[in-house]
A and B are shown apart, each in its own frame.
Chain A
Amino acid sequence: MENLLSNASPHSETLIEERGKRIKIAAEVGLARSSGGRLWARALRRRLHRQRKLPQQACIVKNSTPPLMKEVPLVADVAEEKDEVEDRVRALQRLVPGGEEMEVERLFEETADYIEALREQVGVMRALACLLDGIESTDGDKL
C-alpha cells in the first residue's frame, strides 16, 4: 500500500504515510483500551506510550516485521518437531504484544483475545472507511 502511494506522488506520500501511521496508532490505542484486562492490551499500551514519546523511532520499530520463523525442515522427527513448534510459539510471541514474557498457556489465551479484538477493530475501520467513502462522494457535489 505504501509502495503504491509512494509511486503515485512522492510529495503526498509522506503526508499520507504520516497520517496513516497516526491513524494506525489511534486504532491501536482503541484496540488496547477495548480489552483493558488483558496482558496483551497492557503491553500494547505500554508500547504505544513509549511511541508517543519517541514517535519517529517508535514508528519505525513498530512497522518493521522481522522474519518470524526460520526455515522449517521438511522432515520432522521428534526433536525437530519440538523445535518447529517452539519456533512458531516464539513467532507468535513476537506477534502478540507483550507475548515475550508469557508462557505458552497464557500466550494462547492472550492470542485468542487478541484475535477477537483485531477482528473487531478491522470491522470498525472498514465501516469507517466505507462511510468516509460515501461522504466523499456526496461531498464532491456540495463542494
Chain B
Amino acid sequence: MNCGESSEMPHCFLNLNWDQSIDPNSQLDSALNSIVSSPAPNLISQPEISPQSHYISTNGTIGTSTGSLTSPPPELNLSMGGGRAGLMPMLPNLVPMNHIDQFQPDSSFTQRAARLSCFDGQNYPGFITQFDLTSIKDKRPETGLLGGGQVTQLLDKAQLGFNNAVNGHDESSVSDPVSGSGQIGLPGPSDIGVRKRKASAKGKGKETQKVSEDKGSDTKRCKSVESNGTQEEGIKPKSEPNGSVSTGTTEKGNGAKSKGKDTGTKQLPEPPKDYIHVRARRGEATDSHSLAERVRREKISQRMKLLQDLVPGCNKVVGKAVMLDEIINYVQSLQRQVEFLSMKLATVNPQLDFNNLPSLLTKDMQQACAPLLNSSFPLDTSGLALPFTNSQQQANPLHFVSSSPSSVDPHNTMHPFFNAITDAASQLGAFWHDDLQNVVQMDIRQNQEEIPVSSQAFNGTIQQAHMKMEL
C-alpha cells in the first residue's frame, strides 16, 4: 500500500509494499486503533504487538500533534497484517517524518522519534523512557527550524543524548527515516552492510546505549530500519523463514537477516564503556580509544550542523574547512556590524535636549520604532543588550548624578533627565529583571532610556557616564 503518497508525505518512503504478506490481523488492528487513539508517551509497556503499536502510537501521537497524519494510520492498519510486524516499524517511522517540518521541534518529538528507532520487536525493557536531551536542549532553538533534511541532525542529537540503553537498536535506524531524503528506495543489496549492523544490534537484544553515528547513505538507513523490522521478526519467533519477508522491502530483510546474524557477532564489541555505549561500526577498530574518538567526532559534527543552521548560507557548503570559513566570516561581520552601529550611535547629535527627551522618545518611538522594533528584534530570549538587576539599577543612577560635574557643559541640563531616567530605571529594573523578553517588546521609550542608563548603570564608571551624557 502506499501510505506515503500524496503531498502530505513528500518524504514518505512508503514505496514499501506493505500489502504483500500482511494479513489483516484483527487483533493487531484493534490494538493499533486503540493505540492510535491513545497517545501514550511510553510505548514500551505494550505486549507482543508492541512493535507495531509503538510505531503506530508514535504515529498517532505525532499525527495528533500535527493533525495531518490521521489519514495514514488507518492506511497503515490496512497494510499491517499480523505477520509483517517487522515492516510496520518502517511506516510509522517514515510517516511522521514527512511532517517533521510541521512538527514542533521539541524534545518530545525527538523522544518519539528516538522511540521509533529504538523499536525492538522483542522487548523494550530498556526503552528510552527519557531522553537525555540536555545535550540537545542547549542546542539553539534552531533545531526547531529543521527542515526535513535536517531532521537527521535533530535525531542525531537525540541519539547522542541517549542515556538509556536501547535494546539492540541501532540508533541509526532513527535517523534513517529521518535522514529524510525522503526516499526509501529500498535498495536491496546495498543495505546489507547497514543491516548487518542493525541485525547484530537486534540479535543481541541487549540494552546497550548506542551512539549512532552512522551517517551512511540515507537509503542505507532506511533499509536498516527495514532490516530492523525484519530482524526483529527473526529474533522473535526465531523460526521465521526469511522467505516470509514481504517482497517489496523485505527482500533486503532476507539478506539482512542472514547477514545480521552472521555479522552480529562481528559487530558486537560492546565494550563495557562506562557511560556512553558506542557500537563499533563494521570495519572499524573497536578499541576504546577509537570509539571514544568516534564519539567525539560525532559530537563535533553535530555541533557543526547546529552552526550550519545558524549561519545563513551554510547549507550549500560541504566540508568542514569551508563551513568554518563561513562561520568565521559571519562572526566577523556581526562584530563589525556592532562596531559600525556603535560608531553610528556615537554620531548621533549629542546636543539633544535631554529635558525633552523622554517626551520625544515617547512620541517618536511609538511612531517610528514600534514597527522597526518588531521587525528587527529577534526577540528571542535574553538577547537583550539590556539586562538589568534591581539593586544595581537603583544604586548606579546615583553615580551619574555625582559624576556629572565632570561632564561637558551642555550636559548640565541632564540632571533633570537623570532624575527621570533614574525613576524609569528603577521602575524598569524590577520589571526587566523578571522578564527580559517582555522588556524588549516593551516601549521603546523604556528601551531608549534603559540602554544608556542600564548599560552604564551597572558599570558605574565615569567613562560610561560620559558616554551617556554625550548621548
CA distance A132 to B142 in the complex (A): 32
In the complex formed, the residue of B with least CB distance to A108 is B303
Q: Is the CB of A121 within 8 A of B310?
A: no
Interchain Cβ contacts under 8 Å between A and B, 13 examples:
A22-B466, A26-B455, A26-B459, A31-B385, A34-B384, A35-B382, A68-B332, A112-B142, A116-B380, A120-B378, A124-B385, A127-B377, A139-B353
A39-62 CB mask vs B (1 if < 8 Å, else 0) is 000000000000010010000000
Residues of chain A contacted by B344 (CB below 8 angstroms): 1, 129
B300 in complex: contacting residue of A96, A108, A119, A143, CB < 8 Å: A108
Q: Is the CB of A135 within 8 A of B364?
A: yes
A83-104 CB mask vs B (1 if < 8 Å, else 0) is 0110011011001100000001
Number of A-B contacts (CB under 8 A): 244
Q: How many of chain B's residues touch chain A, expressed as a range?
A: 35 or more
A-B contact sample (13 more), CB < 8 A, given A88-B321, A123-B378, A124-B383: A23-B342, A23-B471, A63-B339, A68-B328, A72-B321, A88-B324, A95-B335, A109-B303, A115-B327, A118-B335, A120-B378, A120-B385, A124-B440
Interface centre among A69, A96, A128 (most CB of B within 10 A): A128
Nearest chain B CB to A93's CB is how many angstroms away? 10
Nearest chain A CB to B179's CB is how many angstroms away? 21
CA distance A25 to B369 in the complex (A): 24
CA distance A52 to B460 in the complex (A): 11
A84 in complex: contacting residue of B311, B321, B356, B372, CB < 8 Å: B321
CA distance A138 to B367 in the complex (A): 12
Across the A-B interface, the 5 shortest Cβ-Cβ residue pairs? A120-B383, A30-B385, A108-B303, A20-B346, A88-B324
CA distance A1 to B135 in the complex (A): 41
Q: Is the CB of B360 within 8 A of A129?
A: no
Q: Is the CB of A108 within 8 A of B307?
A: yes
Q: Is the CB of A128 within 8 A of B448?
A: yes
**8 Å CB interface, B304-328 against A:** 304, 306-307, 310-311, 320-321, 324-325, 327-328
Q: Is the CB of B383 within 8 A of A132?
A: no
Q: Is the CB of A111 within 8 A of B307?
A: yes
Nearest chain B CB to A122's CB is how many angstroms away? 5
CA distance A96 to B215 in the complex (A): 29
A134 in complex: contacting residue of B296, B351, B367, CB < 8 Å: B367
Residues of chain A contacted by B343 (CB below 8 angstroms): 1-2, 5, 16-17, 20, 23-24
